[in-house]
Structure 1
């Protein structure tokens, strides 16, 4: 099965990490979306890649200083297009409601949480509780560059499939030890500098392999021919229909 995963939703057609971007993935017959999850000052879990508001909203400052009631005053869409004026930063609760409603599978990337151990624990506890809302028929992967977080999530929710993320320059010889320590079923390596030999090493450990971020169809075909299971992409709508099999 060759799987397309809409990176931050259909992020080339709608503002990234918004409910509109996630809904568009389904419109283009893509079952899987990837999103990023972080935590606000009051413990609310939200979908956001950055820990600042500057790039993807009409406000400035740190994400972690916000409370849930602040979200309704933040425009997370007009930076992308006037069509998305007043798009909101989604909560994880609203994300899961949408996934259940339109039958989306989720790759939730837990951000490393730059505000310290206290909020990291609250982030882990919050995601554990939130995932109980997800329809059991939906597929789920929890990924992170923070292997301490993955280890703790696997310990508390052992049936949840987890994925270790690696940048090209951090994919050292200890990758296998990290995978085993986290109890990961998936490895998510960066597309950059990834070779067929590396793919075969991952496969020899019976790992599922999803590669980020692939926006070239020729490269995607090469990776699939090497045996990767999925790719994260910003341009899922440009892929042939054989890769887009929404149910």
Structure 2
């Protein structure tokens, strides 16, 4: 099975990491979503790629200075299009409800919390609490660039599959040690760092390989022919039907 992950939801059709972006995934034949999660000052886990509001909302400032009550004042959609005006910055709890409703599978990327280890632990615990509500019929994968944080999550949730994320410049000879330290089942690679030999080496070691972010059909085809298991894409709705599950 070749898997398409809707990167931050259908992020070319709706504002990334919003309920609107995730709610239309299944209607386009995609079974998996990818989301990013970080934490507010009061421990509320929210769905956001950045640790600031600046790029994808009508506000500015750090997530780590906010509480859940502040979310009602934030517009996370009007920057993308008029029809998304008033779109909320979602909590992880709200996203899990949507995932259950739409019977989706989910890759949760735990962000490398810039507020330090105590806040990272608060984020991990919040993610675990949110995942307790996930339907047992949904497939789940948890990933992180911070392999210390990923190992801590895996220690607390040994039954959950995890994936080590690597930036292109960080994938080196020690990747296997990182994967083993996290008891990972998959490796997530930047497209810029992927060649046929790398895929073969990782697969031979017994790991799944997923690649981000691929928005070119020919490149996706090449990666799948090399043995890549999945790709993260912003344009899943444009892919041929052979890649789509519904």
TM-score normalised by L of structure 2: 0.99
Q: Which moved more, 1:121-130 or 1:160-169?
A: 121-130
Indicate if the aligned counterparts of 2:171 and 2:193 stay in contact, CA closer than 8 A.
no
What is the correspondence of 1:63-212 to structure 2 with a 5 Å cutoff?
63-212=63-212
CA distance in 2, matches of 1:73, 1:12: 25
Deviation digits for residues 183-214 of structure 1 (CA, Å, limit 9, x no counterpart): 00000011013100000000001101110000
Deviation digits for residues 148-207 of structure 1 (CA, Å, limit 9, x no counterpart): 111011111111000000111100100000000000000001101310000000000110
Deviation digits for residues 109-163 of structure 1 (CA, Å, limit 9, x no counterpart): 0001111121111111111121111001100000000101110111111110000
Aligned length: 246
* 1:47 equivalent in structure 2: 47
CA distance in 2, matches of 1:244, 1:23: 16
* 1:17 equivalent in structure 2: 17
Stretches of structure 1 lacking an aligned partner (at least 5 in a row)? none
- Offset at residue 63 of structure 1 (A): 1.3
Indicate if the aligned counterparts of 2:215 and 2:233 stay in contact, CA closer than 8 A.
yes
| Secondary structure of residue in 2 paired with 1:124 | helix
Cα RMSD for the two superposed structures: 0.7
| Secondary structure of residue in 2 paired with 1:180 | helix
| Secondary structure of residue in 1 paired with 2:93 | helix
Stretches of structure 2 lacking an aligned partner (at least 5 in a row)? none
Indicate if the aligned counterparts of 2:77 and 2:87 stay in contact, CA closer than 8 A.
yes
Deviation digits for residues 90-111 of structure 1 (CA, Å, limit 9, x no counterpart): 1000010000000111100000
| Secondary structure of residue in 1 paired with 2:176 | helix
| Secondary structure of residue in 1 paired with 2:11 | coil
* 1:242 equivalent in structure 2: 242
| Secondary structure of residue in 2 paired with 1:95 | helix
* 2:219 equivalent in structure 1: 219
* 1:230 equivalent in structure 2: 230
CA distance in 1, matches of 2:236, 2:125: 32
